[in-house]
Amino acid sequence: MSQPSTASTTPFELSREHEEFRRSVREFAEAEIAPHAARWDREHHFPVDVVQKMGALGLFGLTAPEEYGGAAGDFTSLCVAIEEIGRVDQSMGITLEAAVGLGISPILSYGSEQQRETWLPDLVAGRRLAGFGLTEPGAGSDAGATRTRADLVDGQWVVNGAKQFITNSGSEITSLVTVTARTGVRTDPATGAEKPEISAILVPSDTAGFTAEKAYDKLGWHASDTHPLTFTDARVPEDHLLGERGRGYAQFLATLDDGRVAIAALAVGCLQACLDMSLAYAGDRQTFGVPIGRKQGLAFQIADLEVMLHASRLLTYRAAAMKDSMATGHGASVSEFKQAAAVAKLYATEAAVTGTRIATQVFGGYGFMEEYPVARFYRDAKVLEIGEGTSEVQRMLIARGLGLPVE
């Protein structure tokens, strides 16, 4: 029997401080990123200097404790920053999201004090980047199908395998990648069945046998750093195990819950850009002697954009507020947050794909031309429905949260 949906009463209206922070990030994005985004996209250029300026602004350290150089801020602030960077360039938005959510957060949440002191200061300051190696050629959403192995030999983990679609993994400032790998097998005490033991291993980028292969030629996100990775007898010390042995899969699942909300924030930025561009063009472009915004058919489409933007933003920041309430020990439960994260990610990312299609239609033939930013956003949006768990996975999680026995 299905369970009733439980809606948290966690407040999610952004504070005055959040809105002031939004303005500061927007000013930075419009000055340092927007004028160059089209060129970076065209040249497939990863702008290390601007990434490090983002670090100097404190964007990578928003949620990190002060002892590692962070601001000890809340998760909502990170979502605001991702939204505003993503409003001008989705590539830089995902760079920030992945650097914090997939690079810093696992070390902060599960690392030893020595690991935190070794890696976090440079990552938090934006001097270096870290990636998270989960997806493989045969193991994407099905992370239990991981084939990469890490065998403990003479006090070292020997890593062999391959990963794909890994963000921030091969740039000139990448310092390490956290890799999920089979470290053995475990027997289920209830059923007696054996299942792979998945652990997370920190692999520095200069490790012999670790290769970041040639960057992908992607449909979108041209200015982000994304590589396939190979590991051939890559050896790291035993103390590079992240967290408890055999808990890598559980760590990954918790990491993705946060990441889903952050991706939703990136989608909100995309929708805001679509609305901004559509309104400006509808006011300037004239046909039959009047602005096209006076045409009811087109005006209604832009109205739909406004609705999707508001709904996406509310769902996203509601989930972020739930995450922040959990950090205080009050408010939302883990199950409530997981459900809210999946709902926000599913709706906002699908709305972003629809929103870019609407915006491109508003621009007509010009929307098909790369000289207009709307074309870039159109290409960038699709992957939002895939990364951090596909739309199909989100629907499965939401159904399970309602008590439906979905396989």
Catalytic residue ranges:
388
The string of DSSP codes covering 9-44 is ----PPPHHHHHHHHHHHHHIIIIITTTHHHHHHHT
Q: How far is CA 80 from CA 16, 29, 77, 316, 365, in A?
A: 12, 12, 5, 10, 33
Alpha helices by DSSP H, 220-330? 248-284, 296-327
Q: How far is CA 84 from CA 27, 36, 290, in A?
A: 9, 16, 33
Instruction: Give CA–CA dist 105/407, Å, rounded.
Output: 29
CA neighbours within 13 Å on the CB side: how many for 308? 30
Residue 92 neighbours by CB under 8 Å, 6+ apart: 29, 33, 37, 47, 50, 51, 54, 85, 86, 223, 224
Instruction: Give CA–CA dist 256/131, Å, rounded.
Output: 13
Q: How is residue 44 written in tokens?
A: 């497939």
Strand blocks (E) in 168-269: 174-187, 194-204, 210-212, 226-237, 241-242
Instruction: Give CA–CA dist 219/295, Å, rounded.
Output: 33
Instruction: Give CA–CA dist 134/142, Å, rounded.
Output: 10
Instruction: Give CA–CA dist 225/80, Å, rounded.
Output: 22
Give the number of other CB atoms < 10 A from CB of residue 298: 21
Instruction: Give CA–CA dist 304/316, Å, rounded.
Output: 18
